[in-house]
Chains A and B, each alone.
Chain A
Amino acid sequence: DGGITQSPKYLFRKEGQNVTLSCEQNLNHDAMYWYRQDPGQGLRLIYYSQIVNDFQKGDIAEGYSVSREKKESFPLTVTSAQKNPTAFYLCASSIGGSGANVLTFGAGSRLTVL
């Protein structure tokens, strides 16, 4: 079955460490996204990518970095510059980047900074 796989599901990190969250899709979608979810704040866009080797900042990109070397993969690195990284991170993809396209989401990765 096609879908989005995020790993790890749970991750603990010490302050000052970088951590990379994996996102892989086998839907043959061109566009991929990273969202951050905090209690009571809905989802906020971190980064998005429409095609391989191209990505754009979302609303809260500071302290995060991404790469898109393959169509199927869009890893997110949470750097030590991110002041409050504890959150639930959701990866999504869509056929294209137009407004009508439906986003398909992964199951998420919960990051806790100790």
Chain B
Amino acid sequence: AQKVTQAQTEISVVEKEDVTLDCVYETRDTTYYLFWYKQPPSGELVFLIRRNSFDEQNEISGRYSWNFQKSTSSFNFTITASQVVDSAVYFCALRSPIQGAQKLVFGQGTRLTINP
């Protein structure tokens, strides 16, 4: 079975602090894809990144960075120098082409609040 766990339900930091959102996944497949989505107060989920299981290279996009480690089944997301506009709910998700190709399995989400 596939499962995604985001143990941090809520995180609150002061603006300009760095913050890391944890994501741990479970799957028996060797080929799979991991995603991060952002859900601002408006409700629409915004795609941030996709990673396939064969590419463990870390990725940086501006203030955002992602650390993918297959050895620990983790795909953590770090925001550097956080800003108030980063306040949102963040979801980590897993999708396997073999088991349930149509199903994007989501974690419970982490509500991030950046205080000015």
Contact = CB atoms under 8 A, between A and B. Distances in A.
Interface of A: 31, 33, 40-45, 48, 50, 56, 58-59, 88, 90, 92, 97-100, 102-108, 110
Q: Which 5 A-B pairs have the closest CB atoms?
A: A99-B97, A42-B106, A105-B45, A108-B43, A107-B44
B45 A90 contact: yes
A14 to B, nearest CB: 24
B91 interface: yes
Interface of B: 4, 9, 31-33, 35, 37, 42-47, 50, 52, 91, 95-97, 101-104, 106-109
B91 A43 contact: yes
A41 B108 contact: yes
A100 B102 contact: no
B108 A97 contact: no
A99 B47 contact: no
- The majority secondary structure among interface residues of chain B is loop
Given A33-B102, A102-B50, A108-B43, 15 more contacts: A41-B108, A42-B91, A42-B106, A45-B102, A56-B102, A90-B45, A97-B101, A98-B101, A100-B52, A100-B95, A102-B47, A103-B47, A105-B46, A107-B42, A110-B43
A31 B47 contact: no
Contacts of A108: 43-44
Given A90-B45, A108-B43, A100 B106 contact: no
Contacts of B9: 40
Contacts of A58: 102-103
A99 to B, nearest CB: 3
Contacts of A107: 42-44
